[in-house]
Amino acid sequence: MGPPGAGKGTQARLISRRLGIPQISTGDILRQSVQDGTALGRKAHRYMERGELVPDEIVVRIVKERLEREDCRNGFILDGFPRNMPQAEALSRELQKTSRDIDWSINISVPDEEIMKRLSGRRVCLQCGETYNMYFSPPPRDELCGKCSTPLMQREDDKEETIRKRLQVYHEGTEPLIDYYTLNGKLITVDGSGAAEEISERIDKALKDSFG
Ligand code: AP5
């Protein structure tokens, strides 16, 4: 969990590689549907380009189907889901059906001013999924992916006005989940400022301190 640009995707990728469990990013799945031009993608695009949440029934169905896949049997990391109370409750109901539950919720805390810089500087490789930031972690040459040399793209929702809207949606709809997971005894909060590797170490340490 965390505001847009907190580093959820970056940290989820690191945890996924370390633990060998899939990263399930609702944002990535939705963007892929938009790129593929599917009916779902066309519907989702209207909300995403405005920085609003895609309707719960669409996102919950996507996550439900994804969690049923074989590679989730030994665990998974959700990135960008749940994003409001109805989604959190739907997730809990879905997992209960297979006697599973969320183990931890990791909240990455970053001030709004820092978010603006991170998101306006972000560039992504649509080929291999690698993420860069023109201010903090630029690609090795020009705007080309350092891994596969594909030209990098800027997300259309990384425009300043849309970033502000996404922050507003986060504060109003998603932030209340901090209390929800705190009451469930599942929340750890880490300071999301500093280098990605430092934050990764903080997450590791917080998980070990809190849960052994
Ligand atoms: P989504 O893709 O989930 O976007 P988001 O939450 O706005 O988060 P971001 O992906 O922008 O940021 P992040 O926290 O993952 O940070 P990242 O690691 O990329 O959702 C997009 C849209 O899809 C939503 O607006 C909505 O419309 C829809 N959607 C998705 N899920 C939904 C749901 N559950 N319900 C309804 N609608 C949904 O890093 C950001 C940048 O910062 C990068 O450039 C990165 O390189 C850089 N960076 C990362 N860490 C650091 C660091 N420590 N220091 C400096 N820079 C850093």
Asked if 122 is an active-site residue, the reply is: yes
Asked if 123 is an active-site residue, the reply is: no
CA distances, 132 to each of 5, 160, 201 (Å): 12, 18, 20
Mean pLDDT value across residues 190-197: 94
Q: What is the pLDDT of residues 76-128, one digit of tens each?
A: 999 999 999 999 999 999 999 999 999 999 999 999 999 998 999 999 999 99
pLDDT of residue 88: 97
pLDDT of residue 109: 97
Q: Is 67 helix (H, G, I), strand (E, B) or coil?
A: helix
Q: Could you identify the residue written with the tokens 């809990």? A: 92
Measured from the CB, is residue 3 less than 6 Å from ligand 1?
A: no
Measured from the CB, is residue 104 less than 6 Å from ligand 1?
A: no
Q: What is the pLDDT of residues 43-85, one digit of tens each?
A: 999 999 999 999 999 999 999 999 999 999 999 999 999 999 9
Taking the model in full, what pTM does it have? 0.91
The answer to whether 107 and 190 have CB atoms below 8 angstroms apart is: yes
- The best mutation among 30, 84, 94, 163 to test binding of ligand 1, ranked by most ligand atoms within 8 Å of the C-beta, falls on 30
Measured from the CB, is residue 2 less than 6 Å from ligand 1?
A: yes
Asked if 141 is an active-site residue, the reply is: no
Residue 211 has pLDDT above 80, yes or no: no
Mean pLDDT value across residues 36-40: 96
Q: What is the pLDDT of residues 157-175, one digit of tens each?
A: 999 999 999 999 999 999 9
- In eight-state DSSP terms, residue 121 is T
Q: Could you identify the residue written with the tokens 């998974």? A: 76
Q: What residue's CA is closest to ligand 1, atom 50?
A: 7
Question: What does the angle CA 198 – CA 104 – CA 74 come to, to the nearest 5 degrees?
Answer: 100
Measured from the CB, is residue 187 less than 6 Å from ligand 1?
A: no
- In eight-state DSSP terms, residue 71 is G
